[in-house]
Chain A
Amino acid sequence: QKEVEQNSGPLSVPEGAIASLNCTYSDRVSQSFFWYRQYSGKSPELIMSIYSNGDKEDGRFTAQLNKASQYVSLLIRDSQPSDSATYLCAVNKNDMRFGAGTRLTVKP
């Protein structure tokens, strides 16, 4: 079992829709959770961090954490073509472990 698992996609949504990205992790004692966005040929950039159970909202982005289920998600509301990228889930205990990423395409 991989430490951080994501659906590789591609996930395709129409412009204006909600994109839902999911991530599960194996180490129950993981302490902090991050979502990074990576455009093709570019380096990862941080979108959201979340440390406690529940929802955290930042603009069009909402991160959700459920430690009992070992599950993290990212919702993107009003998706835009510029949101088309690979979204990496990262989990930090002693060091950062990344998922393989989900490729999101937002179609105009």
Chain B
Amino acid sequence: EAGVVQSPRYKIIEKKQPVAFWCNPISGHNTLYWYRQNLGQGPELLIRYENEEAVDDSQLPKDRFSAERLKGVDSTLKIQPAELGDSAVYLCASSLTTSGFQETQYFGPGTRLLVL
């Protein structure tokens, strides 16, 4: 079974430029998560999708970040414009559902973003 796929794996951009990350979850997983992980910290949730609906985006900085999950499968996370403080690893994860809060989340390899 293929795992969570993310691209690109690495991205270097100058500040104020836009950037986009793509994620394809494990087949059949309804729930998709975007996390940001800063160096030396644990992942922090940015947004959670149940199928195509964003059910928790309270931690997403909406002035510059946007996300979509058209058709409830793959997802794109965008930053426009990027700031120096956005340098981090952006992780996508998926799970079957969130019913009972016991569903295991499986992480993709992440996209390492460096903003210069």
Contacts and interface: CB of A to CB of B under 8 A. Distances in A.
B25 interface: no
Interface in A23-56: 31-32, 34, 42-46, 49, 51
A26 B91 CA distance: 25
A91 to B, nearest CB: 10
Interface string B92-116: 0000000011101111111000000
Interface residues of B, number: 20
B42 A100 contact: yes
Nearest to B108: A43
Nearest to B106: A46
A20 to B, nearest CB: 19
Interface string B39-79: 01111110010000000100000000000000000000000
Contacts of B33: 96
Size category, A interface:
20 to 34
Contacts of A46: 104-106
Given A31-B101, A93-B101, A88 B110 contact: no
A100 B101 contact: no
A31 B102 contact: yes
Contacts of A93: 101
Contacts of A51: 102
B42 A95 contact: no
Contacts of A96: 33, 43, 45, 105
Given A34-B104, A49-B102, A42 B109 contact: yes
Nearest to A41: B112
Nearest to A99: B42
B56 A94 contact: yes
B48 A95 contact: yes
B110 to A, nearest CB: 5
A83 B113 CA distance: 27
